[in-house]
Structure 1
Amino acid sequence: MTATGIVGEFLALKEETDADILAMQCGDFYEFFADDAELVAKELDLKVSQKSSHGSSYPMAGVPLNDLTPYLKALVERGYRVAVADQYETESGHAREITRVVTPGTLLETTDADAQYLAAVVKDADGFGLAFADITTGRFLVTEVDDAADAHAELYRFAPAEILPGPTLRGDDDFLSAIRDGTDASLSLHEAEAFAPGRARHRVGQQFGDEALASVGLDSERAVRAAGAVLAYVDETGAGVLQSMTRLQAYHARDHLELDATTQRNLELTETMQGKRDGSLLDTLDHTVTSPGGRMLREWLTRPRRDPDELERRQAAVEALASEALARERVRDTLDGAYDLERLASRSASGSAGARELLSVRDTLEILPALADAIAGSRLADSPLSEVVDRPDREAAKALHDELDDALAEEPPKTVTQGELFQRGYDDELDDLIERHEAAKNWLDDLGPREKREHGIQHLQVDRNKTDGYYIQVGKSNTDKVPEHYREIKTLKNSKRYVTDELEEKERDILRLEEVRGDLEYELFQELRERVASEAELLQDVGRALAEVDTLASLATHAAGNDWVRPELDEGDALDIEAGRHPVVEQTTDFVPNDLRLDRERGFLIVTGPNMSGKSTYMRQAALITLLAQVGSFVPARSATVGVVDGIYTRVGALDELAQGRSTFMVEMQELSNILHSATEDSLVILDEVGRGTATYDGISIAWAATEYLHNEVRAKTLFATHYHELTGLADHLPRVQNVHVAADERDGDVTFLRTVVDGPTDRSYGIHVADLAGVPKPVVDRATDVLDRLRNEKAIEAKGGGSGKPVQAVFDLGSGEFAAGNSANASEAAGDDEEATQAAVAATNGHAAAETTDSAESTTETGPALDPETEAILDELRGTDVEATSPLELMAKVQQWQDRLGDER
């Protein structure tokens, strides 16, 4: 075929696919032509050649046949879909067809140890269905959730490489935008028919059996539609791994701890706020010695359990491993040679596993009985760890191990088409071919010495190359002794090359035997690989068991090395931590432990204290200790009783999403809204500075109302760190609210942060001291100190839902004079000439009877100087305000408007 014809074939194949790039096999290379060549050259730094044929010129770039994988991986990781067209023989020559389309979610050739999920998400009137398939391991999970926030949380948790949104979601810009913001996944628009209920149900039934559909246990077909779309996509892209997808696993929200995407980020479970693994909880706890173990540890941390029995089982295994140091190290040493059986099963199913990878299967199956031996004779034998090791079918595993051990050569070649893959005795026909092949090679090995003896030629050797085949090479000094039946084929500087009829005949025999042997060995190897693929479920069972032992050993290693304790799990409301520590921060600094007690009576802690004193660390460590307990891990504390929670919700830090039109405050309010809607009385809520992103009035009002709502309506266990010290007064009026603060020692103007949490409130934040520590110029620090002394004013709001009905003192920006008043102990001084009007506004926010305030105002107008019209108007509005019917937020807005108008009159 001419070069122009090759390009024409390439362009025709490109028309058949919606892939971004086509790699077409041409002999020993995969070639890219035209625009694809320019694109690939730019992305992968390949050289572009300009080829001319019949007056046309076109760009071309290529990679060797056996080197496609790294280039393919690099292109897919950059977000490209790459079609691969392979070459095959026909009677008239060569032909090519597209055999697979590689996408981010269907890339088998990955070296990343983390799971690589392909996800689909479907929406109907009642909620969302999601399916997650890791084609590198064969795992397949489905679930249903009620709303978009829960769907986003699951997508963030699994971090898929590629997402297939269902037909109704493709026009939902808000949903798709949230996916783009929260994940690195590529979005692919798969054909809508794949999501159709009937077609999806048929595919799922074909793949997993009709009984699997009945056992899924989900309330609708949303998840089945998502699962069917994933199966169709995997099939149509040609990944070839459907055989490794052996189980349809359904899970429910009630099985796992609810962790929304915000909480997973805030707690830095798998990566820090800067997007780095180093410094995350996963990085801190990961002492695994296998890739599957590290993958499972990540899964456990992002999907904590709510089943006390399962958690107790894990804890017992961790305790046994932590207490038996020698046995634990034997287990870890045994596991250290394990390969990734789940991925090897998928590679076998796809037909991409080589002989060396099947040997890796054999060697890893051998670890299972070795692990049982490592456990025997120690406390581990009586722990749940032995149950994990006994879970796979040991006899089936041994049978497959022995079959591979009997079949494969110990040092097989990298490629599976050149023979020498099998041991003697595996196949009689192959043994006969090997004997004949070796006999022919032995004849060749003896040819040189025999010819030397027979013809007296001293400088003679028999060799072979690709150009000349087998030949006899004779040094020029001995060419006069060459017999007549030698035919010269090449003259070199110091020698000549010859062939004989007999040598050519033997060469033909050897080449024919090599070809037949290669074909037979490849056929036998394909059968053996299919045999391994047929045991995908067994390999997945063994692989998961080894991974679980590795994960438990990792948790035990960390617990033993860092003085962690086994928490007591409680189905009640207690969270009682003695000398608790932050699991990550304690690794990098001398950590000051702190106690924490939350229960039904003491369920809401307002945490105050200086900036940089450790309030956020204190709250996050409470969340992480709770999470670790529901992973099955030990925890960093002297002792801990943890009531199993249904979810952890956090609002921490100040972030904006300006590109999406959301300010810092808008993001903060959206996060708060999600918590108030999602948390239950069985949840743990962490709030760090609610309302700080807006004006003081608005901020305190929102923080106040949120506290009341969480206390009165949600009743979740809550830790709320705030610099609004006015909120501390709520502890006197809301029965479950208590104050704690991080202590500081101030002597002679120097402040020391003690990082110790004690009961009671504080009214100091030491923000100016922190500014001084940060190097803010001294004139600014001095001026700030002066300003702070002048910002004093007090106001009162009645706590809603409290028992006493008495007003709680709360500070607002209602002062007058040069600076707007903030937190003041001297209200009358800050009120200035408008003391009476300000007192009237205070009374309104206080919730006292409006009549009292009105009487006071009327008395003032009768006995004192006449008020200006604007002030009179404000008092009229005040008289007409129904305090009981006005929300706190609306009431504060009115007060702020009145203050602004009074200020204008000055």
Structure 2
Amino acid sequence: MEQFIEIKAANPDSLLFFRMGDFYEMFFEDAEVASRALGITLTKRGKHYGRDIPMCGVPLHTADDYLQRLIALGHRVAVCEQVEDPAEARKRGAKSVVRRDVVRLVTPGTITEDNLLDARRSNFLSALARAKGGEGGGDRFALAWIDMSTGAFRLAEFDAAALAASIARVEPRELLVPDSLLDEADFRLRFREIGAATGAAIVPVPRAFFDGATAGDRLASFFGVASLDAFGGFTRLETTAAAAVVAYVDKTQLGRRPPLDPPQREASGAAMAIDAATRANLELVRTLGGERRGSLLATIDRTVTGAGARLLAERLASPLTDPEAIRRRLDAVELFLRDSSLREEVAGRLARAPDMARALSRLALGRGGPRDLAAVGAGLAAAVGVFGRLVEVEMPGDEVAAAMAALGTAPHDLGGRLAEALADDLPLLKRDGGFVRAGFRADLDETRALRDESRQVIASLQATYAGLAEVKGLKIRHNNVLGYYVEVGPQHAPAMLSAPLNATFIHRQTMAGAVRFSTVELGALEGKIASAGERATAIELAVFDDLTAAVIAAGAGIKRAAEALAALDVASGLAALADARRWTRPKVDDSGAFRITAGRHPVVEEMLAEDGQSFVANDADLGAAPGAAAASTTGEGGRIWLVTGPNMAGKSTFLRQNALIAVLAQMGAFVPAAAAHIGVVDRLFSRVGAADDLARGRSTFMVEMIETAAILNQAGPRALVILDEIGRGTATFDGLSIAWATVEHLHAVNRSRALFATHYHELTALSERLERVVNATVKVKEWKGDVVFLHEIVPGAADRSYGIQVAKLAGLPAAVVERAKAVLTELEKSGGHAPASLIDDLPLFTAARRRAAAPAPDAPPPPVLALLDGLRPDDMSPREALEALYRLKAERARDEG
């Protein structure tokens, strides 16, 4: 307990997994927390200051499963191992405690184990540095983020307005923040919001981690270089954030360093800015319910490797703003779309490629096993196969050519060596042995033979001795006292005790029914057999270390090949998607255009297709008016479409599909449309749906206004703005006024391309005086009092909302629907003011009058009720039931008369 308390004191912010034989045990408060989190039994062990010590534990062989659950809940775990052989501890005294120490801190952003990671999602650890703004200037921030499982390392700097959007784009599992920043109430609140939106664990760390004066030296020391100049130019703030994240890696890995790439700086504005609310509203990577199924990512993901899936998600999160870079990606997709046989062959080879980057990282950190070596070997073999197929392609395009160059320079000979050295059936852990292929090392084969075939060796030696002594009954036996020995009957002992046999057989023991001998050869063989298992394991571990060193030495080439395979997987997967769904190549340039022909919502279309239904495509044109100059060159703004029409008609779907088409086009994918011409969107805003934040005292309307304010304060001429039902959360005239002013501001100040859905039909009058405001509506058809949605967007404005018809479709009681129709008629007659006649006829008073006119309790029941009481539906034939119905209607008519 003294040892536990001492080690726990050095790791107060982590649960301590304390190794005790075949278990990891936890004590005191750690045990109480872990037992609740893991659902395991809380027991006790010994006493501390007279009180029972709470304890719980998990078996060593299943510890990873429990670790995974703790990390998923946001806990940090310090793994404390025995760092001394128990035999060594006993030399210090019979009651000496085996030395233990923390060998690793496990946190959400630093895990690398395959079974703790999502193969199709990056696992980013990030650090945020701040520079306070001087007079007239706002705060500046820098974000550094790494994926320890792959080595990716990136940096970006931005202003305070882009803070939440930048973190949401990266979506780190763990975000390191200076503890001084969290001391400020405003930032504490903002980071709570960011953590809730992204799922990141917000970790306060000492300010020393963010010491800008020493950051450059610390970063250079980590990478073993004299200067950071070779990596490119970084700002002091970016260097500070990068140094903080590597310092945290050093702390948690206790000196073991993952094979991180040199940091890469992302230029400001290189990616489309999408804030957290917009990402959630558009359901880019998960639905509003938190599920992957139903998101845009799940719909477009046709990758066959984990690395490809992670790269696809990264590209979706960060659509490009450089038309040339977008063109290169689209060229790669088009190559695979044109050549289906190439696409299928490459996809088939990629499907056999394990995750080389993550295997390499585990090996470099000393957590790898034989399967990680095999993963590298199989990945390199796949690289050879893919490269051999791609060299046959004429004019492959820039992106595919770059991938070919990386594959062509991969360490292919290392792949062959790994295949030659490793067995087909591999254990998970190197300590289990049996992973080196037979024939790779002669000494290992000999040792294994001795270990595994000792019976045959002993049997062979027994036959040799029987022939030498001419005793057919000679046996070689074994016990724990003598070890291996030769045994014969008493009648054969004189000959074996005499020359020349006594030179070979050494007398050990005489018994009533047998005489036992040993031999020099048998003694030596016994020693070899006893140590053969240990020697075989030692040889295999030496082979493992040699192969691991070779893999780490070739790490740069392996990572380049892994990145190339991932890029090819994304391109071929997007081509397969475009082929299956009839998607087309978009035109993306620096103009202010936004013209979509027959656009479709990718997620809704797929779901309808599963039910055998088709999606109604619609056009959109938000670019500058014909003849006007591009927004990017003159400041000419884009169009604002005011979209009216009933609920359930497809307005929100239409709004979202255009935003998703822009994201798909700029990430380098084909799009669900007959044609698309998009001038680069630098910022995307979406204010769709209703949500509240009751924990912070914010109503639905307040959240709506906060998000709208962010749009109006940040959107520019190259932004795309999606607004749905602004102002509906408050009184009618207040809401209409806010919506009206918002449209005017978008038109005059922001000058953004925008889609604005509304039920305020009064707004359509703005098109008469605002030149870039266009009215559009969703076509509907009335049929026998019901409304039929045609889901088609056409020019013009809706003259009504059809809300009551939608309520009827939703299943409101018929009485409510009829009453609503009557109230609507009266309101329309009076211009929206409730007349006195309507107030007098409120359902409340109508019900009161009916209760007043009700018959006394002792009055006889009405004839209709008497007839009903006499009916026995279960005993009636269909004809009798019909006749009864006619009698009831006739009686009702008499009552009304």
TM range (shorter): 0.7 to 0.9
Give the C-alpha shift of residue 446 in structure 1.
Answer: 2.8
Give the C-alpha shift of residue 66 in structure 1.
Answer: 4.1
* Equivalent position to 1:247, from 262, 273, 277: 262
| Amino acid in the other structure paired with 2:558 | L
* Equivalent position to 1:598, from 587, 598, 622: 622
* Equivalent position to 2:308, from 274, 293, 298: 293
Distance change in 2, residues 1:469/1:760 (3 Å)? farther
Q: Does 2:557 correspond to 1:558?
A: no
Give the C-alpha shift of residue 598 in structure 1.
Answer: 1.6
* Equivalent position to 1:364, from 379, 384, 393: 379
Distance change in 2, residues 1:671/1:151 (3 Å)? same
CA separation in 1, counterparts of 2:838 and 2:212?
Answer: 66
| Higher deviation after alignment, 35-44 or 312-321 | 35-44
SS at match of 1:655: coil
| Higher deviation after alignment, 684-693 or 738-747 | 738-747
Alpha-carbon displacement from aligned partner over 1:186-240 (angstroms, at most 9, x marks no partner): 222222201110232222222344654575545x422222211111111101166
Q: Does 2:39 correspond to 1:32?
A: no
CA separation in 1, counterparts of 2:566 and 2:425?
Answer: 27
* Equivalent position to 1:535, from 554, 563, 569: 554
| Higher deviation after alignment, 136-145 or 28-37 | 28-37
Give the C-alpha shift of residue 412 in structure 1.
Answer: 4.9
CA separation in 2, counterparts of 1:815 and 1:215?
Answer: 72
Contact 1:351–1:529 (Cα < 8 Å) also in 2: no
Name the structure 2 match of 1:900: none
Give the C-alpha shift of residue 243 in structure 1.
Answer: 3.8
Alpha-carbon displacement from aligned partner over 1:171-200 (angstroms, at most 9, x marks no partner): 222222222331222222222201110232
State how 1:443-522 maps to structure 2 within 5 Å: 445-448=456-459, 450-451=461-462, 503=522, 505-522=524-541
Name the structure 2 match of 1:141: 154
Name the structure 2 match of 1:804: none
Distance change in 2, residues 1:613/1:53 (3 Å)? closer
| Amino acid in the other structure paired with 1:623 | A
Distance change in 2, residues 1:177/1:92 (3 Å)? closer
SS at match of 1:189: strand
Q: Does 2:816 correspond to 1:780?
A: yes
Gaps of 5+ in 2: 91-97, 133-138, 497-505, 609-613, 626-637, 840-897
* Equivalent position to 2:206, from 170, 175, 191: 191
SS at match of 1:105: coil
* Equivalent position to 2:176, from 164, 180, 186: 164
Alpha-carbon displacement from aligned partner over 1:865-896 (angstroms, at most 9, x marks no partner): xxxxxxxxxxxxxxxxxxxxxxxxxxxxxxxx
Distance change in 2, residues 1:240/1:593 (3 Å)? farther
Q: Does 2:800 correspond to 1:764?
A: yes
Alpha-carbon displacement from aligned partner over 1:421-442 (angstroms, at most 9, x marks no partner): 545787xxx7456546646876
Q: Cα RMSD (Å) of the superposition? A: 3.4
* Equivalent position to 2:695, from 659, 678, 683: 659
Name the structure 2 match of 1:222: 237
Contact 1:580–1:637 (Cα < 8 Å) also in 2: yes
| Amino acid in the other structure paired with 1:672 | T
CA separation in 1, counterparts of 2:647 and 2:18?
Answer: 62
Contact 1:138–1:241 (Cα < 8 Å) also in 2: no
State how 1:289-328 maps to structure 2 within 5 Å: 289-328=304-343
* Count of matched residue pairs: 782
Contact 2:147–2:153 (Cα < 8 Å) also in 1: yes
Name the structure 1 match of 2:595: 576
Distance change in 2, residues 1:247/1:450 (3 Å)? same
Distance change in 2, residues 1:412/1:267 (3 Å)? closer
Contact 1:122–1:128 (Cα < 8 Å) also in 2: yes
Name the structure 2 match of 1:104: 108
Q: Does 2:11 correspond to 1:20?
A: no
Name the structure 2 match of 1:703: 739
Distance change in 2, residues 1:173/1:88 (3 Å)? closer
CA separation in 1, counterparts of 2:368 and 2:482?
Answer: 32
State how 1:813-828 maps to structure 2 within 5 Å: none
State how 1:330-341 maps to structure 2 within 5 Å: 330-341=345-356
State how 1:859-878 maps to structure 2 within 5 Å: none
CA separation in 1, counterparts of 2:838 and 2:252?
Answer: 68
Contact 1:417–1:519 (Cα < 8 Å) also in 2: no
* Equivalent position to 2:705, from 669, 676, 691: 669
| Amino acid in the other structure paired with 1:451 | Q
Give the C-alpha shift of residue 348 in structure 1.
Answer: 1.2
Give the C-alpha shift of residue 166 in structure 1.
Answer: 2.0
Distance change in 2, residues 1:395/1:681 (3 Å)? closer
Name the structure 2 match of 1:89: 84
CA separation in 2, counterparts of 1:453 and 1:216?
Answer: 74
Name the structure 2 match of 1:78: 73
Name the structure 1 match of 2:567: 548
| Higher deviation after alignment, 22-31 or 586-595 | 22-31
Gaps of 5+ in 1: 1-6, 490-495, 795-810, 821-906
CA separation in 2, counterparts of 1:482 and 1:624?
Answer: 94
SS at match of 2:456: helix
Name the structure 1 match of 2:774: 738
CA separation in 1, counterparts of 2:456 and 2:838?
Answer: 103
Name the structure 2 match of 1:889: none
SS at match of 1:152: helix
CA separation in 1, counterparts of 2:783 and 2:279?
Answer: 40
State how 1:786-797 maps to structure 2 within 5 Å: 786-792=822-828
Contact 1:131–1:140 (Cα < 8 Å) also in 2: yes
CA separation in 2, counterparts of 1:747 and 1:73?
Answer: 57
Name the structure 1 match of 2:145: 132
Contact 2:353–2:379 (Cα < 8 Å) also in 1: yes
Distance change in 2, residues 1:180/1:481 (3 Å)? farther
| Higher deviation after alignment, 718-727 or 628-637 | 628-637
Give the C-alpha shift of residue 278 in structure 1.
Answer: 0.6
Contact 2:400–2:568 (Cα < 8 Å) also in 1: no
SS at match of 2:615: coil
Give the C-alpha shift of residue 523 in structure 1.
Answer: 3.9
Distance change in 2, residues 1:248/1:504 (3 Å)? same
SS at match of 2:109: helix
* Equivalent position to 2:430, from 416, 420, 429: 416
SS at match of 2:823: helix
Distance change in 2, residues 1:725/1:442 (3 Å)? closer
Q: TM-score, normalised by structure 1?
A: 0.80
SS at match of 1:254: coil
| Amino acid in the other structure paired with 2:814 | K
CA separation in 1, counterparts of 2:707 and 2:485?
Answer: 82
Distance change in 2, residues 1:727/1:454 (3 Å)? same
Name the structure 2 match of 1:200: 215
SS at match of 1:276: coil
Contact 1:135–1:241 (Cα < 8 Å) also in 2: no
Give the C-alpha shift of residue 309 in structure 1.
Answer: 1.0
Distance change in 2, residues 1:26/1:261 (3 Å)? same
CA separation in 2, counterparts of 1:15 and 1:512?
Answer: 42
CA separation in 1, counterparts of 2:491 and 2:71?
Answer: 63
| Amino acid in the other structure paired with 1:566 | R
Contact 1:746–1:752 (Cα < 8 Å) also in 2: yes
Distance change in 2, residues 1:447/1:216 (3 Å)? same
| Amino acid in the other structure paired with 1:175 | R
CA separation in 2, counterparts of 1:744 and 1:461?
Answer: 97
SS at match of 2:378: helix
Distance change in 2, residues 1:729/1:395 (3 Å)? closer
| Higher deviation after alignment, 508-517 or 417-426 | 417-426
Give the C-alpha shift of residue 340 in structure 1.
Answer: 0.9
CA separation in 2, counterparts of 1:569 and 1:497?
Answer: 92
* Equivalent position to 2:196, from 156, 160, 181: 181
Contact 2:684–2:721 (Cα < 8 Å) also in 1: yes
| Higher deviation after alignment, 32-41 or 50-59 | 50-59
Distance change in 2, residues 1:10/1:742 (3 Å)? same
Give the C-alpha shift of residue 540 in structure 1.
Answer: 1.9
CA separation in 1, counterparts of 2:410 and 2:477?
Answer: 50
Give the C-alpha shift of residue 42 in structure 1.
Answer: 4.0
| Amino acid in the other structure paired with 2:458 | L
Distance change in 2, residues 1:452/1:704 (3 Å)? same
Give the C-alpha shift of residue 374 in structure 1.
Answer: 2.7
